[in-house]
Chain A
Amino acid sequence: MKPDPDDYLPLAPATLHILLSLAVEPMHGYGIMQEVLRQSDGRYNLGPGTLYDNLQRLMKQRLVEEVAGPAAEANSRRRYYRLSQLGRGVLSREIARLEDVVHEGRARLRALKPRRA
């Protein structure tokens, strides 16, 4: 049976950042850590243990898959990862969910603003 992306929601912050990092192109682990740091303006600093623990789980869930790296790095210790079709679907649904949360949050905050008499 085809897995339903909604079954994976909501995503943990580390998972969300990792999937976002891989949304554009395949990356190696160190590249993912740098990309997460950039995305979060330096606030979210993933360590290798946390990263590979998440990648291990994401690969088991088939949200991320390993791909061959560039030929220039054939003998490197690096491995490259990319989003699978399912991973892309999950990321899209999570972004839509977060948009709904933001929309709802803004509407509520507007309602709380004091109005002039």
Chain B
Amino acid sequence: MKHLTLLTLITLLCFSAKVAGQQQITGKATSALDGESLFGVAISVLGTPLGATTDAQGNYSITALPTDTLVFSSIEFETAFEVVGNRTIINISLIPDIKQLSEVVVIGYGTALKKNVTTAIATVDPDEIPQAANNNVNDLLFGRAAGLQVIQRSAQPGGEIDLRIRGRQENPLIVIDGVVMPKSGLEPGVNFAETDGVQRSGLSGINPNDIESIEILKDASASIYGIGASDGVILITTKKGNAKKIQVNYSGNYSFVQNMPYLEQLTAKEHMEYYNQFEMDLYNYQSSMEPFGSTPSDYVPTFSQEEINAAGDGTDWVSEVLKNGRIINQNLNFSGGSEKATYYFSTSYFDQEGTQKNSGLNKFNTRLNTMFNLNKYITLRANMIAGRNKYENNGSSWQTGNAGQNAFRALQAAYTYPPYLPIRDEEGNYTIWQTTGNPVALLEIDDETEYNSLLTDFDLDIDIIPDVLKTTFSYGNNTENAYREFYIPSNVFWFDESRARASINNSKRQYQTFEALITFNKEFDNIRLNVIGGFGEYLEQTKTSGIQAQDMLDAINVTNVAAGTATPKVSSSLVKNRKRSYFSRATIDILDRYIVTGALRYDGFSYFFPESKYAAFPSVSVGWKINNESFLAGANAIDLLKLRASYGLTGRASNGAIAYGGFIPDDVTIPYDDAGIRYNAYYINRFDNPDLTWEKTVMLNVGLDFALFKNRLTGSFDWFKDDITNLLDDDARTPPLSFLVTAPQNGGHQVRTGWDIGLDYDVLRTNLYWETFVNLSHYTFRWEERFEQDVLYPYEEVTDPVIAIYAYETDGILQLNESIPDWQPANAQMPGAPRFVDKNGDNVLDSADVRLFNSIPKLIVGWGNTFKYKNFDLTIQIYGQIGAYKTNPTVFWGDPNSILKNSLSGTKDYENVWSTANPDGTFPGATYDEALLAELVTSDIAIQKADFLRARNITLGYTHDFKKYISSARIYFDIQNAFVITEYKGADPEVDARSVKGAPAPYPMARTYSLGLNINF
């Protein structure tokens, strides 16, 4: 620092006399956290070499013009900018930069300093993440943490976003302020088995604006949660008030939402031309006519040239269904408090109009966090979040229940109706195309879900010996209720009839967490000891009920289903289970160099037999802070170097894995006497299985944390291995002659290994500040041993990847007059068929030629950049994956068989289809039908690389500090999903699309432009 001071003096001497209007500025730098004076804060005048630093009391002095901007920077604080104006005294309160090493990390039943953490825990700070267009906590996590893959399964408003820690197959255990939350969304569905169209995200009752921090426990650190922690744990901490004057924050934004490029409908003219071309090829091939055979073709086109010439563009069905959307998002929060009590109150309103007609989300949310120091010893915390969501469900996705085109909803129907068909006929009635309902008419289906949630949480802390021994009792309860109303008006043709049909489904879910905890903290000479012990009991309960009724008047619809004259159908269910845990953990820190943590959790699950009910989940982790060793005392570049390792056991139980046998009423009723008598038979659905017990995952992790060059480069590297044994499969295969088709069983062994890297680098720490962070994850996941009754196909190996696609490779299309290879399958021996690859060159296509397509990405990438210049900030967040294959059933919209056989209307992808007019086409021609292949496996024509790189957010902000009324305000512009780079065709590489009759039409991904304002009062 001395040379800086000297430099400052010299520059002051040089410049002071030269510039008119310059003034002497003095002031004091303090920490916003505790008000302490800060020493060594660098002050510079933006755009000049002038500079100064603060002294031990935090005071500084510098010369500047009124138009100048002062830059205050210090390693552990966020850089601050102040315009001089006519001030001569500028005191600055610097906000601690929480990504720095003094950061406190929530580790489950306590906190630790990040520098002392001995396990693989990633932290995400939602403050840094653009939230304008987002209503779900999961939205914030795309590409934000190494080892965490976030997958947008459905792009519909409130659509499912899944979190996968290190390639684990389920969502992690989610704990909000100590309360265990459901892993999945609550969506009651529709009582008509042929349609649902909703994939709902979990945590839908939480407002992302209320989140203070998100911790991701990736390794054996999760063991302290034993129960259900085998998929990792995500700890969410909500914002709290502090003992300060009242702080008020308002944020609001408006977003314009536009669909990303999606399946493109053909014009009427194109449709007719393609139809004729494909039909001609198929006809000539089947009749052995030219050019396939020697007989001259007598094909008569279905559409005449006059019809084609007159066709024009026709009806743009897709535009009748898709549209632009918008989002209005408003948040207001107050926080503050005194020594005795603190509070945080927030309320938010989120209203989204979807990019498909009739789809949307309206969300209202309130949060109250309070803390009362009842006396010297007792602290009470009471928190609650109340949410109300109203979803308008769209008609996208795909039909269910093995139904065909007759169950298509609006978006699928839009790609099914020929563009030459008008929306209505001359009499004004909706046109009907074969078995599918009219897309526009289908939009008249009412389909809404109302969702209410209430998360309450009471904690009582008792300081038995202040700062040493503390007990905490906590009770948390998360109750959700979802109510779905579905109504098809009587004039809407769907599923083979025009008829009034109503369905009401209700789901109610309750998660309850009760825990008692003792914490002991003590510092001896050079030794710090932290011990916890606790007890927990957890309840999960889900109740559902549903009704389906028909033939009421449209004016009544779902409001009085008793008006339906057809026999109604009803359903209900109740699932309830309990888990009980005893847990303890001890951490000892010796000489600030060696840290050892041991933990033990002992869990019981009500669905297992007494002898298999309980299991112990121990874990141990060690850390060595090498930078504190004397041999590195002189290495100034190293701020932190910590080697750590963890080893531990986690468990998984399942709602579907019940060890107790029983009789269940069959949902397939036994009807006699026409419909006069129906019995519900009771059948044995399980035998007692006293051995059924916890699935166990042994997690091993070795990691290195480092911070170099005054924390300019920080990061972590982790290598891990999960050994999953005793896999608990709800539906494991049974012996071939068992009358149980499946049964819950333990068995098999899977191994997951991989690594993840997170790096954070301040590229520029000048007036132009640039921080970049990169995270990379890689894993493999394979079988080591299979379940006893598993039967492998001849092409499968025991140790194959757990998720794999098997198919025959093809390399191009068989051309006219090309000789047909010997190994070509029986139903692929024609020009226009894909040319199959005989991998082993034995002239036979058999199991040895089956290729395994890996559906696990080789690399998962997140890359973020933050730039700050004066009052401007710019962030760019990118994520993606490389090296994964995915079956893409949306390619079948572009299959020539779709237009000829399945009554679909085709897409612009037809330009890639082989035909006698387009021999360079890369997709098989009309002569070939993949559905008729009937070989050991399918061909690879629907398998595509799912590599992509997506610009999740690009945000430009401008912050202004005020002196009166408002303390600061920020205005920003954000583009979410600005672009995606991918070779994947049709729909988006991320979203789900299921193989169904016809083809699926998942809700399109959208690009969102947001303009927002944040004001702190």
- The yes or no verdict on A and B being binding partners is no
